[in-house]
Amino acid sequence: MLTLRSYALGEWRAAGGRAATLVNPATEEPVGEVARGDLDRAAVLRHAREAGGSALRAMSFAERAERLGRMSEVIQEAREELIELAVRNGGNTRSDAKFDVDGASFSLSAYAEVGAAFDASHALSDGPGVPLGRSPRFHGQHVLVPRRGVAVHVNAFNFPAWGFAEKAAVALLAGMPVVTKPATSSALVACRIVERVVERGLLPEGALQLLTDAGDLLDHLGPQDVLAFTGSGATGRHVRGLPSVIRNAVRVNVEADSLNAAVLGPDAEPDSELLDYFLKDVVRDVTQKAGQKCTAIRRVLVPVPLLSRVREGLADLLGAVTVGNPAEPGVRMGPVATASQLEDVLGGIGELSACGRLLLGGAERVPGVGAPEGKGFFVAPTLVEVAGEAAAAAVHEREVFGPVATLVPYPGHAAAAVDLVARGQGGLVSSVYSDDTDFATELALGLAPYHGRVFLGSSRIAELSPGPGTVLPSLVHGGPGRAGGGEELGGERGLAFYMQRVALQGARPVVERIAGR
């Protein structure tokens, strides 16, 4: 059995002490262990700041971008190995594992392209320069420079490759060293990626460290450090309130819970391409990664006249999904990640079912095809329908992080849909499926204040789009309120979290030279 090690202070370290066992969630067989023990985490952060940060800042954006491109190539070369690990440790189907691994390499290559456009610069201009007096000689300019701290990344269990890469790509390009902490339950993939990067010597010493156990790491954060966290809203609130974070005004980015909605427009016809497109996107989001995506569709808003057609369509498509061991041919959905995750999902289904009518699935563990009898954290795709305009609080407050969606009827006008979606108190993404430009515009503008992203699905893009659940590095990822109030990615925008904006004022030639203009 594999023992996962931390990579810290320039070497691989197998900590002592009590070990946590990683299992295959389809069979419950052990696949590895993570030892929890002694490691001077304050020294880890110092090493990152002093060795890694100095080396990264000595490189230009273009040079750092070149390293990201090589990291992307390493992941592509190891693609089959990483997919196999994701199937075994994450309970992913092969398709789900590819989604994660390919998303990681794509994010790194995308930021390699962003950085290449900056050439040999060491600072970034932030907007145009401005004259500060009657003479143009007295000049002002905002610039972005790398912070002198370390970027601590605490990642979730559902995307061990993509979650690592999307954060690391932006931080490293910005010139900040990274200490990454993968979720324990699915850490095999992230650990293997870091092993490959270290083996190839792709980054300066101290630029990338991996901890399998966070310990007291966050207690040692300083005023130049940043913390990016993906996970539950409760844990996000906890890290924001840490004494070290408050005392040092540490920058924190949180991506947390999200009751994402998909709204079908009243212009959809019962047998139209638009309706088929809508149904397929909902089913994919319910079943991909067993519904364990922060961007998955949780609430399905349907105009009352189309409710019967959508109900039947979703029940047919979801009912045909084979649930089981993803190593078996024909299995389309694997288990949820852990025993505690299964317990949480089944409890959530019970809460939602109490608000309405259970159409499919249920709040009980099910046997998985190809899994040992009585083993595996399997739950069936589940669909709950609520009556009226879904006044029940749980529908808009309880995110069930599994293959579960709630069917919510609405009167068919944009204002009613906005009101229902807004009850989720902030989300990462919600989507509109309509060929009616006026309806889509009104709804999009109504949803925009509550989301980081609004997806506009129509028959015009049905063959082109990967759907609302796919996070693209060129667009921001994050959302207000319940979703954590954070923002990641967004192309060049993502760099600002890891850099200090400073206003320069002085003689124009000097200011422009510093700004790299």
Two structure tokens written together for 40: 């001077």
> Count H helices, E strands: the chain?
16, 23
How far separated are the first and last CA of the chain, in Å rounded? 55
Residue type, 275: L
* Cα 473 from chain centre: 11
Range list of H helices, 218-306: 233-240, 243-248, 273-287
Q: How many CA atoms lie within 13 A of 50 on its CB side?
A: 8
Radius of gyration of the chain from Cα atoms? 24
Contact 421, 430 (CB under 8 A): yes
Look up residue 8 and give its two tokens. 């810290």
Other CB atoms within a 10 A radius of the CB of residue 220 amount to 18
Measured CA to CA in angstroms, residue 499 lies from 18, 147, 493, 510 at distances of 38, 5, 11, 21
Active-site option among 33, 166, 255, 488 = 255
Please state whether beta strands 226-230 and 151-154 pair in parallel, antiparallel, or not at all (unpaired): parallel
Cα–Cα distances in angstroms (integers) from residue 323 to residues 12, 90, 288, 366, 498, in the given order: 38, 15, 11, 9, 41
3-state secondary structure 38-52: CCCHHHHHHHHHHHH
Rounded to whole angstroms, the Cα distance separating 245 from 154 reads: 15
- 294 in catalytic set: yes
| Number of neighbouring beta carbons within 10 Å of residue 129 | 18
Q: Does residue 397 have an active-site annotation?
A: no
Cα–Cα distance list, 316 to 257, 311, 320, 506 (Å): 28, 9, 6, 68
CA atoms 378, 381, 386, 390: torsion sign? positive
Q: How far is CA 23 from CA 28, 214, 236, 340, in A?
A: 5, 20, 26, 13
3-state class (DSSP) for residue 302: strand
Annotated active-site residue in 294, 385, 487, 488:
294
HSE-up of residue 394 (Cα within 13 Å, Cβ side):
16
Residue 20: both structure tokens together: 């946590």
Contacts (Cβ under 8 Å, ≥6 apart) of 133 = none
- Nearest of 468, 455, 24, 482 to residue 236 by alpha carbon: 482
Catalytically active residues are 255, 294
